[in-house]
Chains A and B, each alone.
Chain A
């Protein structure tokens, strides 16, 4: 079976990475850990990846990108690049939520809860019955609520896993993952997943899970008399 040549991008976490899934399903990837500056290295990384594969942008048939949750700026960098690639090359763009993307690197026939530190004493949480098989929606929750229902021995994954192991006796799956997928989205697994995903099910829309910090402004205005007609 010939699969579409797919480029996957992920910049929603403190890592800038991209992967190519070739028509035979094999993958190549470029991975660099960095806190910021994804916007300055991402395109160069893709250039390098394509050069390694002996391919050009025009050869690409699909783009995949993580949509979040994650760094607001980071996920917008990935989405902006992915959507601009899609527009320029007139090819589908597949947006995969970050926790779902992380689940793709899990061993087959394993269920696990993915927990990712969201700061401010909160975690992103989603349960999975297997790789790419979510049980319920992703949510942002106070740490206690994110850990709720975990029994000793339950499998967990993500930056929130160590706390779940420590306080609930859960078991971190990390050691069972390919080294490149530990703590982050496995970018090669994402590229392969996107080769067969239905674009209609995975729109490239940001998935922030957290509202912007903004409050309607009040209290700045002086009091006004009742408006009178024809003053």
Chain B
């Protein structure tokens, strides 16, 4: 049961129809354990985002099914909270209100107003954003926005946390800082996470397994790399770690040798 927490079963996705149809995903099957951290890696345009959106329920699969805890995904919902690449905070709400909106919607009938307030603060503290509650998204940095986005997703207490290149738009130092925070939060909460990335080090550092996708069109799962590194992981200690190096090499080789990026003609 907990081994088949997330089940992706024979998912195909074709956009358009007739002559203009383009097959994006072909026969994707994957299962995730409860509490597992899985990264999807692949060149841009290989359909990783499409797969994540199918799991989120934001777009329907052409064929195949996705199950979370044996229940089929048919529409988006807060049990599959998404952290979008460009944070998608609502600019007219403050940091606090952005998270509170999600908390009120998800826990409106199960928690009291005081509990919802507490829970909102608790999640913002988790990402160390309690100092900027009254700020609007335009007034905080990109890294902070992404942290609020993560707090909003965590605040929904999702079964699966879906991260769509969450750190893609950030500079390297901010990114490293946020990766550490995500590892810390994950050690604390034990979330099941599916993350899209194109950063090999990030994938190895954070993941239990790395799913490597072949190039589109009609992308498939080209290989899966088990990252057998003990947790908690320290990025500096890993630099000389043999397992780390071999995982990194496996993924790099996959991406740059076997499935080199092909320029679209």
**Genuine A/B complex:** no
Binding site for A on B (CB under 8 A): none
